[in-house]
Amino acid sequence: MKNISVCVPADNSGSALATTLRSILEQDTDVEVILLDNASTDDTAALAYSFDDPRVHLHRNAEALPLGEHWNKAVSLSTGRFVKVVRAGDSLLPGALDKQLEVMGDNSIALCSAKYQIVDAAGRVRQTDRGLPHLLGRRDARAVLRALVPRGPADFGPTATTVFRRQDFDRVGGFRGDPGYPMDVDLIARLCLLGAFYGMPETLAARPDSGSDPIDDTSPVTKLTEMLRLHHRLAAEYPQYVGRGAVLGGDLRLVRAAARRVRPRTLASALRRPELPH
């Protein structure tokens, strides 16, 4: 069993996958790489096999799964004590795993996240020191949820910035949601109920300024509706941490962001309070 597994859920990822795999395999830490191909029709599998590295374990879905199921299955195939999920196209910076495993050596910390940078197609850094503007250091669930709901998920960056324990992932039921639903920060919120969140000041991951992430193809109205759903869902599940003021602040932020992009009638429909899951 490896100490850490890096899961790469790939879906018609093409050449973007090479950058991701190289960045993981060049880490100093001994790592298990779980690459789950979501029945891709491009050269994703061939590219993965071209690495010919025993640390890379390639699996393939017989049929394409919805995003949430695909990511959950990727984690379910891991054997490491700790897990990081890296979207194909994103990458890890040198030393990322060592630095985050050192933080996770504190058993009272449920997960840690780091800052990230934005790079162009040639790998040149366009923006850096992104993420976690109000969440550096050790934070409890109240602080994380009160930052997440009013301010939104952008503060947390891509999943490549985060490490958590596999047993905790299983305890909270993994990812829940599909394109449009911010399932990555929803997972962070639930993991924080099991221990502390630790925001690292180092920049340890990179995200391209454009990509083929299925979430990026989701319509603005769907994103708006699903973000509203997240606010109200977390408030219903954790009222001791998320008050009405935080929900209202988050909803108003979405209204301002969406008003410029969608027709008034469509916006009014989207802003109806989302139904909460039973």
Residues in the chain where the model's pLDDT stays below 70? 1, 179, 210-220, 260-278
Q: Is 246 a member of any domain?
A: yes
The whole-angstrom separation of Cα 151 and Cα 144 is: 10
- Separation between Cα atoms, residue 122 and residue 140, nearest integer Å: 38
**154 and 251 both lie in a single domain:** no
Question: Quick check: is 278 in a domain?
Answer: no
CA-based nearest residue to 14, from 51, 44, 58 = 44
3-state secondary structure of 179: coil
Report the distance separating Cα 193 and Cα 187, nearest Å: 10
**What are the tens digits of pLDDT across the range 131-164?**
998 899 999 999 999 888 888 787 888 999 999 9
Q: What is the number of structural domains in the chain?
A: 2
- Whole-angstrom distance, CA of residue 205 vs CA of residue 20: 10
* Among candidate residues 199, 217, 235, the one where a domain is terminated: 217
Return the pLDDT at 5. 98
pLDDT at 174: 97
Round to the nearest angstrom and report the end-to-end CA distance of the chain: 37
Q: Which of 218, 208, 173 is nearest to 193 (CA)?
A: 173
Q: Cα(165)–Cα(2) distance, rounded to whole angstroms?
A: 13
| pLDDT at residue 180, rounded to an integer | 74
- Asked, for residue 275, whether it belongs to a domain, the answer is no
CA atoms within 13 A on the CB side of 3: 10
Write the DSSP symbol of residue 32.
E
Q: Are residues 134 and 243 in the same domain?
A: no
Three-class SS state of 198: strand
Q: Flag whether 68 is in a domain.
A: yes
Asked if residues 230 and 186 have their Cβ atoms less than 8 Å apart, the reply is yes
Please check whether residues 154 and 228 belong to one and the same domain. Answer: no
Does residue 52 lie in a domain region? Answer: yes
- Parent domain of 28: 4-217
Q: Which two tokens stand for residue 80?
A: 């490491």
- Residues 102 and 168 grouped into a single domain: yes
CATH classification of the domain holding 27: 3.90.550.10
58 lies in the same domain as 94: yes
Whether 10 contacts 87, CB under 8 Å: no
Cα gap 236→243, rounded to integer Å = 9
> Are 39 and 15 in contact, with CB atoms under 8 Å apart?
no
Shared-domain flag, residues 131 and 236: no
The confidence score (pLDDT) of residue 278 equals 47
103: its two tokens: 């933080």
d(CA 242, CA 238): 6
Q: Which residues contact 49 (CB under 8 A, 6 or more apart)?
A: 58
The pLDDT of residue 203 is: 98
| Mean pLDDT over the full length of the chain | 88
**CB 83 within 8 Å of CB 166:** yes
User: Do 255 and 119 lie in a common domain?
Assistant: no
For residues 191 and 243, membership in a common domain is answered with no
Specify whether 251 is located in the same domain as 144: no
- In terms of domains, do 127 and 263 share one? no
